[in-house]
Amino acid sequence: MIASRAETRQGPVVLRPSSLKPRWLVVGVLVLGAAVLIGLLLGPVALHRRAVALEIVNALPFVKVSSGLSESHSAILWQIRMPRVVLGGLVGALLASCGAAYQGVFRNPLVDPYLLGAAAGAGLGITLVIAYGASGASLLLPGAAFLGAIGGVMAAYILGRSGSGSRTTTSLVLAGVAVTSFLTAVQTYVQQRNDETLREVYTWILGRLSTAGWREVLLILPYAAVSALVLFLHRRLLDVISVGDEEADSVGVSTARVRLLVVVAASLGTAAAVAVSGLIGFVGIIVPHTVRLIVGSSYRLVLPLSILFGAAFLVLADLIARTIISPAEVPIGVVTAFFGAPFFMMILRTSRRNS
């Protein structure tokens, strides 16, 4: 492995990114596989694990076995549970990897995927559609959330870039706070003018993965693929810029370009996740920090493992959400907040102690 070296005032800094060891990849895949299997088996209707396994094997090309599942149980598996588990995995992978990427770009362990106004923009888009949309407006919700999230991020980025060029990171964070506050104020005004839609708006804001088919999965899949690919390809550069912009520039890394590409890719992934699931908090904080505690801080490890563990975490969180008070459901955002709020306080306390 080739180590990069940067000179600082305190002396040379040697960057030795860790490699992605096969055993961690295997552990991540096994954890995700177990979460998916549990998510498929458990629910209001019990499905036998052997029948489910055979049904999945039967879906492989050139394989023909009898699973023993009835037609109704097969429909439950393929049209209700499987799409929901896959959607949960995609959303969890996106939020966790985008959270890790934002934390690397801004060098701040408390940053989450909704930093640059994505959540506020998506919330405003959804609120406008619900409040003023005609019949059939539910079909417009994912598009409105996506456009709102992208619009919020673009506004924050333009505002942040208009500040001092030497403080790009700080300017972007402050711009995100300003844009979030403004868009939230507009959303609140629209809600107060249309209070009959409050329940529907808050149901979406609290997060949900309700799906009846593969439409939402197909909608998010291209954006998830592009976002994950760009972030994965920049994982080594995130290790380099973690030592500081001046040191990274001295070894030939364009920090401005890396920051722009990573922010755009992470914002695209966040917007896509928000569009189909609403606002699901803390995934982008819980998962990357847990991965760091286990394998270290190198983004060559953190990013790919955040994808796997993020997917597994949200599949299991959704399982809790849909079974704990079955046949009713708890908003998945409530479940993630239940685990995430204490975790966030622990991180905040640790950060203060180390500062």
276 pLDDT more than 80? yes
Residues 6+ apart with CB under 8 A from 103: 109, 111, 288
**Rounded CA gap, 66 and 43, in Å?**
23
Please choose, from the candidates 291, 320, 342, the residue with its C-alpha nearest in 3D space to the C-alpha of residue 88.
320
pLDDT confidence tier of residue 38, bands split at 50, 70 and 90: very high
Give the predicted TM-score (pTM) of the model: 0.86
Q: Which residue has the tokens 């003018």?
A: 193
More confident residue, 20 or 329: 329
Domains annotated for the chain, with CATH where assigned, are: 70-354 (1.10.3470.10)
**Rounded CA gap, 103 and 190, in Å?**
33
Residue-level pLDDT at 3: 41
8 pLDDT more than 50? no
Residue-level pLDDT at 353: 61
Whole-angstrom Cα Rg for the chain: 21
More confident residue, 18 or 138: 138
**Rounded CA gap, 103 and 333, in Å?**
21
Model pLDDT for residues 103-136, shown as the tens digit of each residue: 998 887 778 888 888 889 988 998 898 888 765 5
Cβ atoms of 4 and 236 within 8 Å: the answer is no
pLDDT confidence tier of residue 168, bands split at 50, 70 and 90: low
Give me the mean pLDDT over the 242-261 stretch. Answer: 84
Backbone dihedral region for residue 254 (phi beyond 0: left; psi -120 to 50: alpha; all else: beta): beta
Residue-level pLDDT at 246: 80
Residues 6+ apart with CB under 8 A from 119: 149, 152, 180, 274, 279
Give me the mean pLDDT over the 301-323 stretch. Answer: 95
State the angle between helix axes of 168-193 and 118-132 in degrees (0 to 180), rounded to the nearest 10: 20
pLDDT confidence tier of residue 18, bands split at 50, 70 and 90: low
232 pLDDT more than 50? yes
Give me the mean pLDDT over the 247-251 stretch. Answer: 81
Backbone dihedral region for residue 43 (phi beyond 0: left; psi -120 to 50: alpha; all else: beta): left
**Rounded CA gap, 154 and 156, in Å?**
5
Residue-level pLDDT at 341: 82
Residue-level pLDDT at 63: 78
